[in-house]
Amino acid sequence: MTDFSGKHLVVTGGTGALGSAVVGALLKAGATCSVPYIVEAEAQRFAHRDKVRLIEVPDLADEASVDLVYKDVTLWASIHIAGGFAMGKVADTDKAALMAQIEQNLISCFLCCRAAVKAIGKTGGRIVNVTARAALEPRTGAGMSAYTIAKSGVAALTIALAEEVAKDGILVNAVAPSIMDTAANRAPMPKADFAAWPKVEEVAATILHLASPDNRVTRGAIVPVYGKS
């Protein structure tokens, strides 16, 4: 197992299904974690709440709120899982719905990347974003175009930022999951082949590698984590 002892990481979306798996694995590997959260009920049932620094944040698409998360920390890595999902055909999606997806997914990721780059500085570190399969395969984004647009922006941001900060020893990558095997995803698709879906622990393992000191060369990658689906 990778050793994260003495390393501080920020994990946005850390109280969700994938985030909990990531934080749990990081804690087991010796890391110190700061976990911003928005939903109080989710924070209350978070299994690792007594082992991390929980930070209430009203909106990760707000620049001032994000800057407070990263203020006065010596940071090794930042992992950006927080986001939002909405179905909707283009004809049924108004500007407000489009902007909601862009703010929840792209703007929040951009602002966290910006703050992370400043906090890591020139000492070197890692940034891992979470995009989606639809960003790599836009045809699969039919019926959820606003989400696909936003997650495609996260993929483009990842690649561009990786090039910007490589000279400072900051390696930036992203994972692109297909539908993950969670209770929330099973509920609306009870007849799906759940065995084919990637497990959150499996996706977390890929994220941990990209965020770890063991990753010495990979940057600007959008890693598909599809399982058998």
pLDDT confidence of residue 1: 67
Contacts of 198 (CB under 8 A, 6+ apart): 177, 178, 180, 181, 225, 226, 227, 229
Residue 32 lies in a domain: yes
d(CA 118, CA 133): 29
Residue 18 lies in a domain: yes
Q: Which residue has the tokens 């698409």?
A: 61
Mean pLDDT, consecutive 10-residue stretches, the chain (229 aa), reads: 92 96 98 95 94 96 96 95 96 98 98 98 97 97 97 98 98 96 89 91 97 98 94
pLDDT confidence of residue 181: 85
Residue 93 lies in a domain: yes
Residue 15 lies in a domain: yes
Domain residue limits at 199: 8-225
pLDDT confidence of residue 191: 87
pTM value is: 0.96
Residue 2 lies in a domain: no
pLDDT confidence of residue 94: 98
Looking at residue 66, which CATH number applies to its domain? 3.40.50.720
Residue 1 lies in a domain: no
pLDDT confidence of residue 146: 98
Please count the structural domains in the chain: 1
